[in-house]
Amino acid sequence: MTKQTIDTEKVASAIDRLRSANNKINEDFQTLQNTAKRLETDWTGEAGSLAHTTMYELFTFNEVRSTILENYTGILEQQVNPGYENAENANLKLADKFR
């Protein structure tokens, strides 16, 4: 049987990197959204309307992407790391009983 392990420090580091990347993407999208709002009054007509609609759809998709990434990092942080450590500790205690 192959032994499988998880390096909880690397998982914690990955969580930090994912959160940092998510925050950076959100900041960049906020800058884009502010620019788009300023353009609304300057760019009128059918093409402007279509562009605004498309941009706001993109912003909505970013919110969904961000929520998914936040949920994923939450699962890693609250379930995977502690769950793995708890399981390993329980296994070690059980193994000690058979020594």
Instruction: Please give the Cα distance from 52 to 40 (Å, whole number).
Output: 7
Tens of pLDDT, residue by residue over 37-85, are: 888 888 888 888 888 889 889 999 999 999 999 999 998 888 776 666 6
31, pLDDT greater than 80:
yes
Q: Could you tell me the two tokens for 44?
A: 């009128």
The number of domains in the chain is 1
Would 28 be classed as within a structural domain?
no
Determine what percent of the chain is predicted with pLDDT higher than 90: 40
Range of the domain at 98: 74-99
Would 53 be classed as within a structural domain?
no
Would 78 be classed as within a structural domain?
yes
**How confident is residue 29, by pLDDT bands cut at 50, 70 and 90?**
very high
Would 42 be classed as within a structural domain?
no
Would 19 be classed as within a structural domain?
no
Helix axes 81-97, 8-42, angle to 10 degrees: 170
Would 88 be classed as within a structural domain?
yes
Would 30 be classed as within a structural domain?
no
Q: Could you tell me the two tokens for 31?
A: 């800058």
Residue 3: its pLDDT value, please?
77
34, pLDDT greater than 80:
yes
Record the pTM.
0.71
Q: Cβ(69)–Cβ(18) under 8 Å?
A: yes
Would 85 be classed as within a structural domain?
yes
Q: Could you tell me the two tokens for 75?
A: 């699962």
Residue 90: its pLDDT value, please?
67
